Amino acid sequence: MRVLGIETSCDETGVALYEAGVGIRAERLASQIQLHAAYGGVVPELASRDHIAKLLPMVETVLADAQVDLGGLDAIAYTAGPGLIGALMVGGSLASALAYALKVPAIPVHHLEGHILACMLEEPAPEFPFLALMVSGGHSQLIEVLGLGRYRIVGETLDDAAGEAFDKVARLLGLPYPGGPELAALAERGDPRRFALPRPLKNQGLDLSFSGLKTAARLAIDACRGADGGLPDPARADVAASFQAAVVDTLTGKCRQALAATGLTKLVVAGGVGANRALRASLAELGRQVGARVYYPKPALCTDNGAMIAYAGWCRRAEGADKPRIVARPRWPLDELRPPP
Ligand code: KG4
Ligand code: ZN
């Protein structure tokens, strides 16, 4: 069975072809970083327009790369939410129209389920149940994953998502959008002990909070500004390193607590912040300490991509709509999902 996957929930256009028993046959990703950089963040209207311009040619390229023609597709999966409504509608409309014309099912996929399942495309793939640390630009959650569609959120952020905090502090440091990877690169040459930033909600349950940490980073930045208002270089890198260390420590501590509370022995890292090297190293060390196995997909499978949507669509192949319909849900709580019939 071959499933085409389409991701357009935010600022990346992703298309991939998954074939059961083979894996990802071809995939393409178009980033909109250049487009939004001038505005310091994603402009929803521009995101939709760019998806419109890129999507269909990318579908053609992926099919050509895989040497599969349209008739060789058995289902079309697309991100139906959560995400930007206009952006979701581009992917949903194209996927549904293609599926309708080809008389194959269109499968609406939950973006976060895609992130959770991305690790299944790697070797070795984890078996259920496991704990998932979902850290993306819009979400920060600890999820007990009991099986496909069986998700229990055991902790989540009370305010900003981890990726959002990275992006906001990066902006304060004068780094271009999207700040997360830029801040991480700057942190490599900074001193993580120079600024004692808070570890929010430490030992206080499994919920997370990043807005106080962001404010503490802002105060540290303001205190280091020179007479001209600029931030001298060692201080910039030191704030970046201290902030990253605070996020990494916090997430590692919460994972430690969540593993203990749930009794799970596998930890899966999902979402864009999962690409962070310091976080990956810290979670690997946690795994060694507590005897848990840690799985993180390669960085390209942590950030948004079409492969995870194609694969999640295959997992939900029994759910293709019997009547033509387009699903686009900007808000869609993960724990509303159920196992496939
Ligand atoms: O999962 P994702 O690609 O998109 C969403 O679904 O939100 O996550 C994007 C987020 C952004 O906030 C980005 O800055 C962050 O992940 N990110 C990183 C790194 N790479 C991406 N944050 C820290 N370190 C990184 N290396
Ligand atoms: Zn995402």
pLDDT tens-place string over residues 150-166: 999 999 999 999 999 99
- 58 in the same domain as 143: no
63 part of a folded domain: yes
Tokens of 270: 């999902």
Report the alpha-carbon distance of residue 92 to residue 325 in Å, rounded: 9
Q: Which two tokens stand for residue 215?
A: 């404010």
Point out which residues pair with 31 in neighbouring strands: 12
Ligand 2 (single-atom ion) residues, CB below 5 Å: 136, 304
Query: For a pocket test of ligand 1, which of 273, 280, 282, 298 has the largest count of ligand atoms closer than 8 A to its C-beta?
Result: 273
Give per-residue pLDDT as tens, 117-150.
Answer: 999 999 999 999 999 999 999 999 999 999 999 9
**pTM of the entire predicted model:** 0.96
Residue 250 CB neighbour total at 10 angstroms = 22
Which atom of ligand 1 approaches the CA of 115 most closely?
A: 1
Residues 157 and 286 in one domain: yes
Of 194, 185, 174, 198, nearest to 238 by C-alpha is 194
From the CA of 302, the nearest ligand is 1
Pocket residues for ligand 1 (CB within 6 Å)? 10, 136-138, 163, 166-167, 178-181, 184, 271-273, 275-276, 303-304
Encode pLDDT of 190-246 as tens digits. Answer: 999 999 999 999 999 999 999 999 999 999 999 999 999 899 999 999 999 999 999
Are 94 and 178 found together in one domain?
A: no
Q: What is the mean pLDDT of the chain?
A: 97
Instruction: Looking at the CA of residue 304, tell me the nearest atom of ligand 1.
Output: 3
Tell me, yes or no, whether 200 and 280 share the same domain: yes
| Residue 35 within a domain | yes
Evaluate whether residue 123 is within a structural domain: no
Q: What is the pLDDT of residue 286?
A: 98
- 115 C-alpha to ligand 2 centroid (Å): 7
* Residue 58: per-residue pLDDT: 98
Atom of ligand 1 nearest to the CA of 184: 24
For residues 17 and 65, state if they share a domain.
yes
Residues 11 and 109 in one domain: yes
Q: Is residue 203 part of a domain?
A: yes
Whose C-alpha lies nearest to ligand 1, atom 10?
A: 137
The CA distance from 63 to 306, in Å, is 13
State pLDDT tens for residues 236-281: 999 999 999 999 999 999 999 999 999 999 999 999 999 999 999 9
**Domain span holding position 254:** 128-296
pLDDT at 266: 98
Identify the pLDDT of residue 320.
Answer: 78
Cβ atoms of 15 and 76 within 8 Å: the answer is: no
Atom of ligand 1 nearest to the CA of 271: 1
User: Which residues have C-beta within 8 Å of that of residue 38, sequence separation ≥ 6?
Assistant: none
86 with 165, same domain: the answer is: no
Which among 14, 85, 111, 21 is positioned nearest to 54, based on CA atoms?
Answer: 14
Percent pLDDT > 90 in the chain is: 95
Confidence of residue 323 (pLDDT cuts 50, 70, 90): confident
Tokens 């970083």 — which residue? Answer: 33
Q: Assess if residue 122 is contained within a domain.
A: no
145 and 268 in one domain?
A: yes
- φ, ψ dihedrals at 132, nearest 5°: -110, 130
291 vs 314: CA distance, rounded Å: 32
Check: CB of residue 197 under 8 Å from CB of residue 242: yes
Q: What is the 56 CA–ligand 2 centroid distance (Å)?
A: 21
Residues 260 and 133 in one domain: yes
Asked if the structure places residue 144 within a domain, the reply is yes
User: Ligand 2 mean position to 142 CA, how many Å?
Assistant: 15
178 phi/psi in degrees, rounded to 5: -85, 130
Which residue among 111, 157, 303 has the greatest number of ligand 1 atoms within 8 angstroms of its CB, and so is best to mutate? 303
- Between CA 246 and CA 169 the distance in angstroms is 12
Does residue 206 sit in the same domain as residue 323?
Answer: no
Domain count, the chain: 2
Beta carbons within 8 Å of 307's beta carbon, 6+ residues apart: 5, 14, 16, 18, 24, 27, 118, 121, 301
Q: Whose CA is nearest to atom 24 of ligand 1?
A: 276
Mutate to test the pocket of ligand 1, among 8, 10, 115, 136 (most ligand atoms within 8 A of CB): 136
Residue 326 maps to which CATH number? 3.30.420.40
> Comparing C-alpha atoms, which of 6, 9, 80 is closest to residue 326?
80
Q: Give the number of whichever ligand sits closest to the CA of residue 136.
A: 1
Quick one: 22 and 138 in the same domain? no
- Tens-digit pLDDT profile for residues 78-99: 999 999 999 999 999 999 999 9
Same domain, 134 and 272: yes
Q: Which helix (H) or strand (E) holds 214?
A: helix 211-224
226 located within any domain: yes
Note whether residue 341 is domain-resident: no
